[in-house]
Amino acid sequence: MDGFTAAAALLPAGLARAALALSQEDRDRCEEFRLRRGREMTALLGGREYGLGTGKVGESDLRAVLEAATGSSLHAAGEQIRRGFLSAPGGVRVGLCGTAVTDGTGMTGLREVSSLAIRVPRAVPGCADGIWEALTAGGVRSTLISSPPGGGKTTLLRELIRRLSWDGYRVAVADERGEIAGAWNGENAFDLGPGTDVLTGAPKGQAAALLLRAMNPQVLAMDEAAEPGEVQALLRAAGSGVILLATMHGGRGTRDGALCRELLEAGVFRRRVWVELRGGRRAYTVERVPCA
């Protein structure tokens, strides 16, 4: 099942019909479905939302998606909900908004769900062809992939993992949200190559440490490093001699966040790939990172 079909399969019947009525061209460039209570469902196409003429999304629609995403076991998905997302079959991620339930330590849950973002996962074999020579010249080096949210970082990361694995590298993947491999019931939805080991569901910082100890990787991959613990895990991994592949939010011409600067200033990464949307298509630019 392709990523678009997997995402549409989470929708209740009426909304699914509207999604599946999209042309093949629009299916191929669809990035997300957005469901907001009291508004029509939209599709994110080429970075812009378009209404699908579904009428107003109701509470029953939102509930149906949540039930489909959790296999009717919503009560068992509390930890994911606490972090604002659900992992669903086929590598689909469902982002959640509503009224937060908090205690003295932070957010503990979510009630009165008001909107959902259903991310369409996609493997694009060959998307790294145009930059592969620049990325591997002089040998494979630790690489940071940067773009604004939803810019296509995970898709490129998935392809780099696949190619390195097929080239003979042992690759370990800290896949907290199940988005990179699309793992479900122990099976990966996406081809990550013959030499790739995936740990799904564990917090990325903990997963990175475990993978280093248990799987003896040559390459360690992590998507959306955004927490201090994840950055510390990358710093420790860099000291072990492993090649790192990681993504972080960022855009050319904007100031890097503090955690990103910490990694760059420590000399963790030797190359950086910028992912940008140009004319509705993603373009990749490789830069060398100066030695610290």
Domain CATH number, residue 16: 3.30.450
Task: Identify whether residues 246 and 280 lie together within a single domain.
Answer: yes
When comparing pLDDT for 220 and 83, which is higher? 220
pLDDT band of 102, cuts 50, 70, 90: confident
Residue 52 contacts residue 40 (beta carbons within 8 Å)? yes
DSSP 8-state code for residue 37: B
Q: In this predicted model, what pLDDT tens digit does every residue of 158-195 receive, in sequence order?
A: 999 999 999 999 999 999 988 899 887 778 889 999 99
Task: Identify whether residues 141 and 107 lie together within a single domain.
Answer: no
Q: Residue 204 falls within a domain, yes or no?
A: yes
Residue 178 contacts residue 154 (beta carbons within 8 Å)? no
Place of tokens 């972090």: 83
Residue ranges of alpha helices (H) inside the chain are: 3-8, 13-20, 24-29, 59-69, 78-82, 132-136, 153-166, 204-215, 228-239, 258-265
Question: Computed over its alpha carbons, how large is the radius of gyration of the chain?
Answer: 19
Query: For residue 273, what is the enclosing H or E element?
Result: strand 271-278
In sequence order, the 6+-apart residues with CB closer than 8 A to the CB of 257 are 248, 249, 250
pLDDT of residue 44: 95
pLDDT band of 72, cuts 50, 70, 90: low
In sequence order, the 6+-apart residues with CB closer than 8 A to the CB of 165 are 171, 192, 193, 194, 195, 196
CA-based nearest residue to 135, from 159, 154, 151, 171? 159
Question: Residue 223 half-sphere exposure, CB side, CA atoms within 13 Å?
Answer: 28
Copy the structure tokens of residue 211: 């993978």
Q: Which of 119, 140, 167 is the last residue of a domain?
A: 119
Q: At what angle do helices 258-265 and 228-239 cross, to 10 degrees?
A: 10
pLDDT band of 91, cuts 50, 70, 90: confident
Domain CATH number, residue 275: 3.40.50.300
pLDDT of residue 134: 96
Residue 173 contacts residue 165 (beta carbons within 8 Å)? no
Facing residues of 215 across strands?
none
pLDDT of residue 85: 87
**Which range among 16-25, 99-108, 274-283 has the greatest average pLDDT?**
16-25
Give percent of the chain with pLDDT exceeding 90. 73
Task: Identify whether residues 140 and 61 lie together within a single domain.
Answer: no
* Residue 26 identity (one-letter amino acid): D
Task: Identify whether residues 265 and 133 lie together within a single domain.
Answer: yes
Q: Is 28 helix (H, G, I), strand (E, B) or coil?
A: helix
When comparing pLDDT for 13 and 70, which is higher? 13
Task: Identify whether residues 137 and 277 lie together within a single domain.
Answer: yes
pLDDT at 110 over 90: no
In sequence order, the 6+-apart residues with CB closer than 8 A to the CB of 244 are 142, 143, 219, 220, 221, 222, 234, 237, 238, 268, 269
The arithmetic mean of pLDDT across residues 236-258, rounded, is 93
Q: Residue 225 falls within a domain, yes or no?
A: yes
* pTM, two decimal places: 0.86
Domain that holds residue 226: 129-288
Residue 121 contacts residue 3 (beta carbons within 8 Å)? yes
**Could you give the CA distance from residue 173 to residue 139 in angstroms, rounded to a whole number?**
20
How many domains would you assign to the chain?
A: 2
Q: Residue 124 falls within a domain, yes or no?
A: no
Contacts made by residues 237-242, CB under 8 angstroms, sequence distance 24+:
237/208, 237/212, 238/142, 238/266, 238/267, 238/268, 240/212, 242/212, 242/217, 242/218
Give the chain's mean pLDDT.
92
pLDDT at 151 over 90: no
pLDDT of residue 153: 94
- Tell the burial category of 129 from Cβ atoms under 10 Å away from its Cβ (0-12, 13-18, 19+): exposed
Task: Identify whether residues 142 and 267 lie together within a single domain.
Answer: yes
pLDDT of residue 95: 93
DSSP 100-157: EEEETTEEEEEEEEEEEEEE-----TTTTGGGHHHHHTTS---EEEEESTTSSHHHHH
Lowest mean pLDDT of 77-86, 221-230, 257-266, 271-280, name the range: 77-86
pLDDT band of 290, cuts 50, 70, 90: confident
pLDDT at 105 over 90: no
Copy the structure tokens of residue 166: 């097929």
The arithmetic mean of pLDDT across residues 30-46, rounded, is 96
